[in-house]
């Protein structure tokens, strides 16, 4: 099973705001995210899940929290208490890949575990305080790029 990070990153590295908001709305980027992840497990931090408000449809939603009392009362949502536990569970699912979909805290831990990354580099800077971690070019090779209106989708493979 491949572990794939998917994210949208502004020119200044911002991916969101700690109050939960995504600082932009680009419909085509949301559509790309949906098309890419549909049918696969998506792993996210508790804060990102709360910003969504409800599970992403057509995907098993896996939420990471340190709060062992916490359970999320939705079908299609499973909670785990570490990223490693979540990934080990996904490996049992007979799925070709699982996506790590954020936010900042989960990307920082996930970037050393991922096999591939699909990053939408937005054409603008954004106002926020949650950032994507540094992409080390000694570890990550840019595989392909696809220009869209307001963003470019870049695929990375681990070297």
Ligand X SMILES: NC(=O)c1ccc[n+]([C@@H]2O[C@H](COP(=O)([O-])OP(=O)(O)OC[C@H]3O[C@@H](n4cnc5c(N)ncnc54)[C@H](OP(=O)(O)O)[C@@H]3O)[C@@H](O)[C@H]2O)c1
Binding region for ligand X (CB under 6 A): 7-8, 15-18, 20-22, 44-48, 51, 64-67, 81-83, 101-106, 109, 130
Complex with ligand X: residue 41 or 102, whichever CB lies closer: 102
Closest to ligand X by CB, 9 vs 159, is 9
CB of 153 to ligand X, least distance (A): 12
Query: Across-strand partners of 117?
Result: 5, 156
**Contact indicator for 117, 3 with CB cutoff of 8 Å:** no
**Is 15 in contact with 132 (CB distance < 8 Å)?**
yes
Distance CA 43, CA 26 (A): 22
- Supply the minimum distance, in Å, between the C-beta of residue 25 and ligand X: 11
For residue 51, the minimal CB distance to ligand X (Å) is 5
Minimum separation from the CB atom of position 122 to ligand X (A): 9
Q: Which is nearer to ligand X, 116 or 159 (CB)?
A: 116
- Cβ(106)–Cβ(84) under 8 Å? no
Q: Please identify, using beta-carbon distances, which residue of 71 and 144 lies nearer to ligand X.
A: 71
CB of 33 vs ligand X, minimal distance in Å: 8
Task: Select 16 or 94, whichever has its Cβ closest to ligand X.
Answer: 16
Q: DSSP of 74-130, one letter per residue?
A: STTEEEESSHHHHHHHHHTTT-SEEEE---HHHHHHHTTT-SEEEEEEESS----SE
Q: Which residues pair with 43 in a beta bridge?
A: 62, 100
3-state DSSP helix/strand/coil percent for the chain, to nearest 5? 20, 35, 45
């Amino acid at each position: 099973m491949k572990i794939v990070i998917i994210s949208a990153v502004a020119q200044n590295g911002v991916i969101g705001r700690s109050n939960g908001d995504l600082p932009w709305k680009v419909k085509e980027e949301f559509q790309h995210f949906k098309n890419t992840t549909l049918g696969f497990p998506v792993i996210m931090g508790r804060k990102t899940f709360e910003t969504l408000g409800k599970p992403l449809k057509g995907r098993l939603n896996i939420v990471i929290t340190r709060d062992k009392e916490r359970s999320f009362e939705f079908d299609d949502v499973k909670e785990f208490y570490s990223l490693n536990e979540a990934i080990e569970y996904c490996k049992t699912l007979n799925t070709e890949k699982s996506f790590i979909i954020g936010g900042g805290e989960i990307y920082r831990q996930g970037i050393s575990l991922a096999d591939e990354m699909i990053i939408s580099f937005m054409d603008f800077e954004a106002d926020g305080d949650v950032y994507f971690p540094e992409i080390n070019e000694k570890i990550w090779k840019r595989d392909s790029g696809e220009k869209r209106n307001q963003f470019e989708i870049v695929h990375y493979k681990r070297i």
